[in-house]
């Protein structure tokens, strides 16, 4: 079907559905990722820095939790403008610099990576374009293997980036990717079983004017990605907060006119969301809980996903989030494949 005759949301719909296959393909490349991990382990970095933009920035936030929890490395998120605008050149000897970019063509990330390598960093590019300038600039590269992504809103490339980062960081600690092995099957089950609950959420929130997204721990990354997806596809005024930050001031702006999307997967992060959602519900907000622990929290609506290890939960819980953004965009008369005023193109091959 040509671009002119494509139905609204057709590309985003197809790419959401591809994700179980993408996960299986990526898991089949575990040995290649483990080779890069072995080089990182040999160099024994003293801390890590993450450079990213947009959806990749949310994937980097997920990686921050993985690095701090699984490897117990201190981690920082790079502000690219300190290099590109201000010319800062800190000493990065014995530092791991992970540059995350689906296209691998971001000029500022390229400059950060080149500068970091000259300053002594161990540079690793995580991209969906193996022959990109970013891969050429970095010492090592990890290919997320999501294939061409034609939808404007990143879906399969985002979740594949999460999985690639998990496999890489888990392998640095000597892991075999055991917790990720079932993800293709669990992802397909998530897509097969959450359709009705997502459709009901679309009906509930189709007239919402503003939404807060929130999560704790690993799921903080999904909350951030959810706000971006809702804003860029449905034009919702969506703001993401960690559950802890939400209670430190912003909760005062939550009321009965506020829709709250809460990520609640089983584990320490999901458990920590109980008090957050109790406080939010007392303010009269309409809460949609998404995750494997959705049934265990106070919420107006729930979208459950299969159980898995907490450290890989963001790979699954983002799937109904993507479908919710897609459904809301269509219900509100938009086309998420051609959002108005959005010029972003993810350059992948």
Domain ranges of the chain: 10-180, 183-331
CA separation, residue 222 to residues 29, 32, 97, 219, 230 (Å): 25, 27, 22, 5, 12
pLDDT of res. 52: 96
Whether 261 contacts 290, CB under 8 Å: yes
pLDDT of res. 245: 93
pLDDT of res. 209: 83
pLDDT of res. 338: 85
| Cβ neighbours for 210, distance < 8 A, ≥ 6 positions apart | 236, 237, 238, 239, 257, 258, 259
Instruction: Give bridge partners of residue 303 from the DSSP assignment.
Output: 290
pLDDT of res. 341: 55
Whether 337 contacts 8, CB under 8 Å: yes
In this prediction the pTM is 0.95
For residue 24 the two structure tokens come to 């299986």
- The separation between CA 98 and the C-alpha centre of its own chain, rounded to angstroms, equals 15
pLDDT of res. 179: 97
Instruction: Give bridge partners of residue 91 from the DSSP assignment.
Output: none
Q: Is 229 a catalytic residue?
A: no
CA angle 58, 213, 245 (to 5 degrees): 85
pLDDT of res. 4: 56
For residue 190 the two structure tokens come to 């998530």
DSSP state of 32: H
What count of other Cβ atoms lies within 10 Å of the Cβ of residue 288?
A: 25
CATH dotted code for 10-180: 3.40.50.10490
Burial (CB count within 10 angstroms: exposed 0-12, middle 13-18, buried 19+), residue 86: exposed
Q: Tokens 């888990």 correspond to what residue?
A: 170
For residue 54 the two structure tokens come to 């947009």
pLDDT of res. 349: 34
Q: Which residues of 289-303 are buried (b: 16+ CB within 10 A; e: fewer)?
A: bbbbbbebbebebbb
* Active-site pick, 64, 156, 229, 344: 344
Of residues 268, 250, 265, the one with CA closest to residue 212: 250
Task: Report the CATH architecture of 183-331.
Answer: 3-Layer(aba) Sandwich (3.40)
pLDDT of res. 186: 98
| Cβ neighbours for 220, distance < 8 A, ≥ 6 positions apart | 61, 65, 242, 269
Mean pLDDT, the chain cut into blocks of 10 residues (349 residues total): 73 97 98 98 97 96 98 95 92 97 93 96 96 96 94 95 98 97 98 98 92 96 97 90 91 88 96 93 93 94 97 98 97 88 45
């Amino acid at each position: 079907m040509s671009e002119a005759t494509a139905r609204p949301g057709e590309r985003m719909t197809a790419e959401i559905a591809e994700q179980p296959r993408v996960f299986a393909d990526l898991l089949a490349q575990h040995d290649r990722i483990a080779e890069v991990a072995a080089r990182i382990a040999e160099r024994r970095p003293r801390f890590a820095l993450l450079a990213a933009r947009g959806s990749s920035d949310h994937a980097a936030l997920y990686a921050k939790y993985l690095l701090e929890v699984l490897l117990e490395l201190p981690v920082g998120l790079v502000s690219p403008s300190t290099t590109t605008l201000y010319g800062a050149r800190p000493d990065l000897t014995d530092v791991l610099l992970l540059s995350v970019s689906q296209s691998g063509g971001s000029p500022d990330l390229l400059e950060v990576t080149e500068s970091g390598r000259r300053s002594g960093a161990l540079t690793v590019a995580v991209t969906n374009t193996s022959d990109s300038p970013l891969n050429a600039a970095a010492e090592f590269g990890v290919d997320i293997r999501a294939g061409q992504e034609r939808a404007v809103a990143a879906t399969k490339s985002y979740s594949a980036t999460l999985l690639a980062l998990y496999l890489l960081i888990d392998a640095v600690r000597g892991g075999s990717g055991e917790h990720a092995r079932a993800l293709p099957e669990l992802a397909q089950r998530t897509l097969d079983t959450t359709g009705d609950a997502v459709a009901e959420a679309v009906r509930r929130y189709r007239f919402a004017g503003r939404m807060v997204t929130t999560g704790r721990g690993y799921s903080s990354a999904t909350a951030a990605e959810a706000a971006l997806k809702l804003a860029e596809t449905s034009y919702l005024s969506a703001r993401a907060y960690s559950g802890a930050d939400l209670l430190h001031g912003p909760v005062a702006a939550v009321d009965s006119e506020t829709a709250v999307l809460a990520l609640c997967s089983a584990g320490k992060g999901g458990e920590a969301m109980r008090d957050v959602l109790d406080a939010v519900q007392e303010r009269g907000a309409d809460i949609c809980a998404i995750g494997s622990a959705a049934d265990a929290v106070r919420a107006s609506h729930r979208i459950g996903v299969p159980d898995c290890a907490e450290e890989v939960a963001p790979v699954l819980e983002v799937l109904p989030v993507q479908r919710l953004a897609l459904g809301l965009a269509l219900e509100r008369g938009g086309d998420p494949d051609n959002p108005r005023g959005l010029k972003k193109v993810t350059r992948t091959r």
